[in-house]
Structure 1
Amino acid sequence: MELYDIVILGGGPGGYIAAIRAAQLGKRTALVEKEKLGGTCLHKGCIPSKTLLRSAELFETMKRSGSFGIRAEGLSLDFGGVQSRKDSIVEQLEKGVQFLMKKNAIDVYSGTGHIVDGTGREAAEAGCNGVINVTRGTIQGNDGVDIAGDTGEEAIRIGYRDLIVATGSRPRRIAGLPSHERVMSSDEALAMTDVPASIVIVGGGVIGVEWASMLSDFGAQVTIVEAAERIVPTEDADISRELSRLFAKRKIKVLTGAKLLAESVAAGEAGVTLEIERGGKVDRLAAERMLVSVGRAANVEGFGLERTAAKVERGVIAVDPASMRTADPHVYAIGDVIGGLQLAHVASHEGVAAVEAICGLETHAPDPASVPKCVYSRPELASVGLTEQAAVDSGREVKVGKFSFKAIGKALVFGESDGFVKVVADAANGAVLGVHMIGPHVTDFIGEAALAQLLEATSMQVGRMIHPHPTLSEIIGEAMLGADKLALGM
């Protein structure tokens, strides 16, 4: 039996980054992945969806090229080409992860890992704290893994001193929906071979609004059904209102306060029909396809977690947020499987924290208040810290600065001047409590706001920082100054 200092279950951005950090610290490390290195982020989430969003954005920009003084004739969408570009980028990045595993001498097991016994005699004799059976398999194109257990091959057993669970999540399902190709999760939507003429998207959170924006730009008629009173309900209320207004201008229909009646959903060759309850009335909707985006469920089952002392609470693995350690002293968990902010960059940070805790180093686990969140719709959304309402609810007196992209020269140059930046600061000491953005490329410079929060900067300090002109980032300085009623450009 091969013995490792650290074994990691799951090769997504949490798992493979943890593996690299462990190797850097001199630990013999194994990574077990049942599908492909890169996990959901690379193959079913961040990268493929953002690649499609970029194509949709470019297609929309080309359709209005006349406003830039450019005549484009015969413009058409090659959706097969769009999908090919997506697959090519994913493949390139996957090869990059494979290279990093080899470079850092990390043993990668392709297959499903099953925890056998954390306290068994065999583990004790081997000088480790647990063993895992890896049911080996071979990756076959886009079809996943041919599980060796189904073909009669024996599992390989490996031992660990410490285990990191990074098994990720899957799209949450709604009970009672028909099993049909026209009723999709985001996983199935990525494999579409054409753009539907119309689609109903159930769920107006991050995934829902990204798909709504993308498919609208590709030419689909889009309806969003959201149970909450506003879309992207975890964002600042002003951001939600602005996104709804801009979606309305694009003819994206947004139905909030709407409950899907799951038993009413019917799918067939003609499309999908469904009913929603809204304001005490029942409305009937029809579309060519339906996309369900109501969050993600943690993968806590199927790999033997119950054979350890780790605890599952409210559907996720409970951990010490400082070290990522579970109730089992030799089992750690990171990423989507522990809930919280289910973001790739959070998982990576948690992976480093877990490894450094195992190695006895000072850890730097992510603070939710300083984690930047991004939505890649058109326009983009980005935020960090407290919303205005959350800051008020915490008992603070706040001051707010707000600045429009319409007064930013680079935004006008880009032809994208919708949106604004909003700064929420403590009225007593000027500390930046939250920054909320909607507009062009805001995901590319939310990092400045996150750094301001990490360093506990004040709005005046950030506002006085020299921002280069002409850039979109100038808006941060103006919004920060605006909190102190000193904005210069409006």
Structure 2
Amino acid sequence: MADQYDLIVLGSGPGGYVAAIRAAQLGLKTVIVERERLGGICLNWGCIPTKALLRTSEIYHYMQHADAYGLSASNVAFDLAKVVERSRKVAGQLNAGVKGLMKKNKIAVVEGVGTITGKGRLSVKQGDKTTELTAKNIIVATGARARDLPFAKADGERIWTYRHAMVPPEMPTKLLVIGSGAIGVEFASFYNDMGAEVTIVEMLDRILPVEDAEVSDFMQKALTKQKITIQTGAGVEKIETGPKGVKATIKGKDGKSAVAEFSHVIVAIGIVANIENIGLEALGVKTERGQILTDGYGKTNVDGIWAIGDVTGAPWLAHKASHEGVIAVEAIAQAAGNKDVHPHPMNKANIPGCTYSRPQVASVGLTEAKAKEAGHELKVGKFPFIGNGKAIALGEAEGFVKTVFDAKTGELLGAHMVGAEVTELIQGYVVARQLETTEAELMATVFAHPTLSEMMHESVLSAYGRAIHF
């Protein structure tokens, strides 16, 4: 006989486990199904362990430049195995934390591969054991995997995905990174700071192509200054692996192809949603370009089937998945008669994006170019890190904060930052957009001194010709 629940969540990443917790808070009897480790890719193989690695490379960089702070450090070195071990311990600690949250919220956990076998039915296989589950609603939160190059599949030895790059068996000496989105740039930054010779190849005309053009331009100059080689408007046509490295044929912007040798390659050309072989086709769940189609609440075209996170398309971010999970669960609870929840559809324009490289990049809302395309008259403000006392005191005087306003209404259309700790600062602008704040409220806000956040204030003032310190 099948185990009966109010909600089945398939997948325990930041979308799935957050959805399960919110469901439990709302009194829904919930079970979560996971084929690998609680916390999903983000916690175990993505967001969290990469930040642990990047923290190591940041400290290593500072140690190598201790003299700039009046300090001395000799014989600075690292143990790659210990670097990786620390990263894995961080992931392990958080995995245990998710287990604790499941227990605390009385959420059942079933390990194994889940398949939707009919309306409200899901079968879980682990080895020879099969568990049958039933629920009125099922949330698909199966995430995504790295996209392979069709002509050079990742082998974990010379050709790596992000997953291999987090547990390197050896330190690359000469590294090729294919793709310059957040994942590609973060790994390029990490390995460059750890001493590898790094080359980035990007098919489009600029790195970090989803960011504001000025941010992309600044990052290209900053990374080039760090001795990272960057080829934009270029593509990798062929990769040949050997016992000691790889040969990559790269077609440059000029249309000419050349062969270059590397010790390792990281492929960071995007992801593929995990929607195959979980029963969606038989139920008639609509998909498009490999992604599940949903409304703003996570509901699919099939009654009782919901989808959140990477399986529903861009932006492929953990915090987007978590928020979608809460929205979907509250919509389910509301439909069941709960009058205390009032879900709103997801507004993707208010989802921040962060890249944790050196320097960091963060943004929310429209770029200047997109705002113009949308027909807005603009007021644009920009303030450099060099004009901020705290940034100078930290020895982090490179970067800027840029704000984009609608000239007629004062609406904050977008904010774009590059520099130290901007992934923390961006939330101020995210809150401002969520509250539909205009330039007037931001100008009237008192910012603590000395802080990096003062640059946010100055950028707003700058858009209206009122910057004080620059």
- Provide TM-score, normalisation by structure 1: 0.93
**Does residue 205 of structure 2 align to residue 242 of structure 1?**
no
Q: In structure 2, do the counterparts of structure 1 residues 179 and 40 end up closer, same or farther at CA, with 3 Å as the change threshold?
A: closer
Deviations along 1:403-443, whole A, 9 cap, x unmatched? 00011111112111111000111111221100000000000
Match of 2:138 among 130, 148, 163: 163
Match of 1:308 among 283, 303, 327: 283
- Asked whether the 8 Å contact 2:154–2:161 carries over to 1, the reply is no
Please name the residue that 2:318 is paired with.
344
Alignment partner of 1:395: what SS? Answer: coil
Alignment partner of 1:155: what SS? Answer: strand
- Asked whether the 8 Å contact 2:383–2:458 carries over to 1, the reply is yes
Match of 2:152 among 177, 183, 196: 177
Shift in Å at residue 364 of structure 1?
Answer: 2.6
**Does residue 207 of structure 2 align to residue 231 of structure 1?**
yes
**Does residue 310 of structure 2 align to residue 330 of structure 1?**
no
Match of 1:447 among 427, 447, 453: 427
Where does structure 2 lack aligned partners over 5 or more consecutive residues?
Answer: 335-340
Using the alignment, how far apart are the partners of 1:383 and 1:161 within structure 2? 39
Using the alignment, how far apart are the partners of 2:459 and 2:421 within structure 1? 16
**Does residue 97 of structure 2 align to residue 96 of structure 1?**
yes
Cα-Cα RMSD: 1.0
- Asked whether the 8 Å contact 1:178–1:266 carries over to 2, the reply is no
Please name the residue that 2:11 is paired with.
10
- Asked whether the 8 Å contact 1:166–1:335 carries over to 2, the reply is yes
Counterpart amino acid of 2:350?
S
Using the alignment, how far apart are the partners of 1:34 and 1:358 within structure 2? 25
Shift in Å at residue 178 of structure 1?
Answer: 4.9
Alignment partner of 1:6: what SS? Answer: strand
Deviations along 1:456-489, whole A, 9 cap, x unmatched? 2122321321110111111100001000010101
- Asked whether the 8 Å contact 2:148–2:154 carries over to 1, the reply is no
Please name the residue that 1:294 is paired with.
269
Match of 1:275 among 236, 249, 252: 249
Percent identity of equivalent pairs: 43
Please name the residue that 1:142 is paired with.
none
- Provide TM-score, normalisation by structure 2: 0.97
- Residue range with higher mean Cα deviation, 387-396 or 366-375: 366-375
Counterpart amino acid of 2:450?
P
**Does residue 413 of structure 2 align to residue 433 of structure 1?**
yes
Shift in Å at residue 131 of structure 1?
Answer: 1.3
Counterpart amino acid of 1:353?
I
Where does structure 1 lack aligned partners over 5 or more consecutive residues?
Answer: 119-129, 137-147
Alignment partner of 2:23: what SS? Answer: helix
- Asked whether the 8 Å contact 1:460–1:481 carries over to 2, the reply is no
- Asked whether the 8 Å contact 1:460–1:480 carries over to 2, the reply is no
Using the alignment, how far apart are the partners of 2:379 and 2:248 within structure 1? 45
Counterpart amino acid of 2:446?
I
- Asked whether the 8 Å contact 2:183–2:268 carries over to 1, the reply is yes
Using the alignment, how far apart are the partners of 2:388 and 2:463 within structure 1? 18
Shift in Å at residue 65 of structure 1?
Answer: 0.5
Shift in Å at residue 194 of structure 1?
Answer: 2.8
Counterpart amino acid of 2:62?
T
Using the alignment, how far apart are the partners of 1:156 and 1:396 within structure 2? 55
**Number of equivalenced pairs:** 461
Using the alignment, how far apart are the partners of 2:176 and 2:291 within structure 1? 29
Deviations along 1:60-109, whole A, 9 cap, x unmatched? 01100001011111211111111111111111111110000000000000
Residue correspondence of structure 1 range 124-273 to structure 2 within 5 A: 130-136=120-126, 148=127, 153-178=128-153, 180=155, 181-261=157-237, 264-273=238-247
- Residue range with higher mean Cα deviation, 190-199 or 232-241: 190-199
- Asked whether the 8 Å contact 2:136–2:304 carries over to 1, the reply is yes
Residue correspondence of structure 1 range 10-29 to structure 2 within 5 A: 10-29=11-30
- Asked whether the 8 Å contact 2:162–2:267 carries over to 1, the reply is yes
Q: In structure 2, do the counterparts of structure 1 residues 460 and 283 end up closer, same or farther at CA, with 3 Å as the change threshold?
A: farther
- Asked whether the 8 Å contact 2:179–2:203 carries over to 1, the reply is yes
Please name the residue that 1:67 is paired with.
68
